[in-house]
Structures are given as structure tokens and as C-alpha cells.
Amino acid sequence: MLKKIVLAGSLILITFAAFAQKKEYKSLSEAFMSGMSLRGESGPSGVNWLGDGSSYSFTKKQGRTQQIWSYSIKNEKEELLFNAGDQTFPGTEETFSYRSSQWAGDYQYLLFQTNFERIWRNSGNADYYYYSLKDKSMMPIVEDAFTAEVSPNGALVGYGKEGNLFTFDLIPS
């Protein structure tokens, strides 16, 4: 008897929940598009605090163009730092695009991972480029490396290629 009461109560609750969630749509098109109304605009991605923590950088896309911006907390202003659409791969006319980026220690340089070729799941080889915000120059660091990192002081890039580790001196003596 108790099982029947619990079962009947559950069915009643499920029925009420189903009716409470139904919405009538004016057309089939409106019903299909209603799923989009639950999604908001995507927030910033690739967020990194810069320098003393009074600003941060973030990435966003303008159409198909990748951009890196900074936001000053004190001034409440955004500034475009890097626009891939304004750059080409050095020595070519091909528009620059990248998979990921990381800041050098002084926040005046960016290391970009480009031309990623998957080997297994999330691992693969890529080309790495170094970009100066000051003079807006792009320099290739290494091709077909499986990883690269900027040193904490921003003077070196360490990278792995063909099972070996190497360094690239960004400030030649």
C-alpha cells in the first residue's frame, strides 16, 4: 500500500513539473530558437593579471580575428594590445593566427603557439613566435616543437623538440 502511495505521489509531482516547464511557442521556428535564449554572451577568455595587478589581459574574437586586450581597473578602460588581423607570418602575406599565447615576465612580449599539428589527443608539435608590444615586431623562435615556455625574467624561451630541450636567448649579449 505504501509503495502505491509513493508511486502515485511521484507521478503527480512529475506531471506538475512537466506542465510547469512547458511554454507555448508561436511557431516552430521560435521553438527551435528558444534554446539560444538560454545562452548568454561568452565572457572573456585567456584572462591574465598584468604587472602589479592593476590591469589584466583577455582575449576575444572580432569576427574571425583574434585579439588580445587589456583592461585597467583604475581607469576602467580597455586597450587593444594585439590584433592578429594586422599581422602576417614573418616573410609571408599569410594573416597571423594562433592557438594560444603567454606573456613574458615584463608583460611587453607575447609568445604565440601557431600551426599546431596533433600527434595524439592533446599533444602535438607547433611553431612558436615572439611578439614585441613596443615595436610591434614578430620573430620566429622554433618550428615543430612540442612545448615552449618563457623564462620568469623574460630573457629566454625554453622549448622541447625531437626529445631534447633547448633554450633560445631573447636578449643576445
Digit-by-digit pLDDT tens for the chain (173 residues) are 666 665 555 555 555 454 445 556 666 556 555 554 555 566 678 888 888 889 999 998 888 889 999 999 999 999 999 999 999 999 899 999 999 999 987 888 899 999 999 888 878 899 999 999 988 999 999 999 999 998 888 788 999 999 899 999 887 66
In sequence order, the 6+-apart residues with CB closer than 8 A to the CB of 151 are: 105, 157, 158
pLDDT of residue 82: 93
Which amino acid makes up residue 38? L
